[in-house]
Amino acid sequence: MNNQMLLYMMGGIVLIFGLLIMIYMSLQKRMQKSDYKRIKKLQEGTKASNYTSEVLFQRLYITYAKIPYIKKYIFKLRRRLEIIDVDDEYSTRRDSAKILTKALCVIIPLVIATIVVSKHNFLLMGILLLFEVFLIDTLIDGSVDKMDNNILKEQLDFFTEMRHTYHECNMVAEAVYQTSQDDEKSISKQGEKIHEILTADDPEMELEKYYDIAPNSYLKEFAGVSFLTQEFGDRKVDGSSLYLKNVNNISQEMQLEILKRDKLNYTFRSLTVISIVPVLFIEPLKTWAITNFTFTKQWYNGKPGIIVQVLIMILTFVCYVMVRKLRDNGSTNIRTSNTENPWQKKLYKIPVVKKIVDSFIPKEGTKERRKIKEMLKESASTLKIEWLFVNRICLAIVTAIATVVFFIYLHNVAVDWVYTEPTSDYDLIGEMSDKDKVAAEEVTKADNRILEQFTGKRGTSVEDIKAVIEQDDFYIENADGDYQTAAERIHDKLGVINTEYLKWFEFLMAFLFAVAGYMAPIGLLKFQVKMRALEMEDEVMQFQTIILMLMRIERVNVEIILEWLERYSNIFRAPISKCVNNYEAGAWEALEEMKEDVSFTLFIRIIENLQAAVEKIPIRDAFDELDSERDFYQERRKESNERLIKRKAMIGKALGFAPMICLFVGYLIIPLVFVGLTAMTNAFSKMMAMGG
Nearest one of 270, 307, 244 to 649, comparing CA atoms? 270
Nearest one of 373, 404, 378, 367 to 389, comparing CA atoms? 373
Give the pLDDT of residue 73: 79
646-651 CB contacts, 8 Å cutoff, 24+ apart: 647/534, 648/264, 648/267, 648/268, 648/326, 648/531, 648/534, 649/267, 649/268, 651/326
Amino acid 551 reads M
- pTM value is 0.70
Give the pLDDT of residue 79: 79
464 vs 453: CA distance, rounded Å: 11
- Mean pLDDT of all residues in 607-623: 82
DSSP state of 570: S
Beta bridge partners of 236: 241
Beta bridge partners of 122: none
Give the pLDDT of residue 334: 43
176 vs 191: CA distance, rounded Å: 6
| Contact of 136 with 103, CB cutoff 8 Å | yes
Give the tens place of pLDDT for each residue, 464-503.
778 878 777 777 777 665 677 777 787 888 887 888 888 8
Give the pLDDT of residue 398: 92
- Mean pLDDT of all residues in 508-525: 90
Instruction: Please work out, in degrees rounded to the nearest 5, the angle formed at the alpha carbon of residue 664 by the alpha carbons of 647 and 127.
Output: 85
End-to-end CA distance of the chain: 47
- Mean pLDDT of all residues in 606-624: 82
SS3 287: helix
SS (H, E, C) 199-225: CCCCHHHHHHHHHHHCCCHHHHHHHHH
319 vs 313: CA distance, rounded Å: 10
Give the tens place of pLDDT for each residue, 583-602.
888 888 888 888 888 877 88
Phi then psi dihedrals of residue 241, to 5 deg: -65, 130
DSSP result, 154-187? HHHHHHHHHHHHHHHH--HHHHHHHHTT-TTSTH
Amino acid 94 reads R
Give the tens place of pLDDT for each residue, 43-83.
454 444 445 677 888 888 888 888 887 888 788 888 777 77
Residues in the chain: 692
Position 509 pLDDT exceeds 80: yes
Give the pLDDT of residue 404: 92
Position 1 pLDDT exceeds 50: no
Residues 6+ apart with CB under 8 A from 311: 662, 666
Helix (H) or strand (E) holding 240: strand 240-241
Nearest one of 248, 241, 249, 235 to 556, comparing CA atoms? 235
Position 14 pLDDT exceeds 90: no
Give the tens place of pLDDT for each residue, 112-147.
887 887 777 776 777 777 777 777 777 787 778 788
SS3 237: strand
Position 528 pLDDT exceeds 70: yes
Structure-model confidence comparison of residues 371 and 34, the more confident one: 371
User: How is the chain split among helix, strand and coil, in percent rounded to 5?
Assistant: 80, 0, 20
Give the pLDDT of residue 252: 84
Confidence of residue 336 (pLDDT cuts 50, 70, 90): very low
Supply the mean pLDDT for the chain.
79
- Taking the C-alpha atoms of 612, 613, 618 and 619 in order, what is their torsion angle to the nearest 10 degrees? 120
Give the tens place of pLDDT for each residue, 639-687.
877 888 888 888 888 888 898 898 888 888 888 888 778 767 766 776 6
Measure Cα distances from 584 to 200, 258, 439, 442, 578 in Å. 29, 38, 92, 90, 11
Q: How many percent of the chain have pLDDT more than 90?
A: 4
Confidence of residue 625 (pLDDT cuts 50, 70, 90): confident
569 vs 579: CA distance, rounded Å: 13
Position 512 pLDDT exceeds 90: yes
Range name among 214-223, 395-404, 487-496 with the lowest pLDDT average:
487-496
Range name among 144-158, 316-330, 352-366, 493-507 with the lowest pLDDT average:
316-330
402 vs 143: CA distance, rounded Å: 34
Structure-model confidence comparison of residues 507 and 46, the more confident one: 507
Structure-model confidence comparison of residues 40 and 437, the more confident one: 437
Cβ count near 433 (within 10 Å) = 10
Longest dimension (CA), the chain: 112
37 vs 539: CA distance, rounded Å: 47
Amino acid 609 reads N
- Mean pLDDT of all residues in 228-250: 83
Amino acid 193 reads K
Q: Is 87 left (phi over 0), alpha (psi -120 to 50) or beta?
A: left
Give the tens place of pLDDT for each residue, 349-376.
888 988 998 888 888 888 888 888 888 8
Confidence of residue 5 (pLDDT cuts 50, 70, 90): low
Give the pLDDT of residue 692: 52
Ranked by mean pLDDT, the top range of 149-153, 232-236, 684-688 is 149-153
Nearest one of 541, 575, 574, 568 to 644, comparing CA atoms? 541
Cβ count near 570 (within 10 Å) = 15
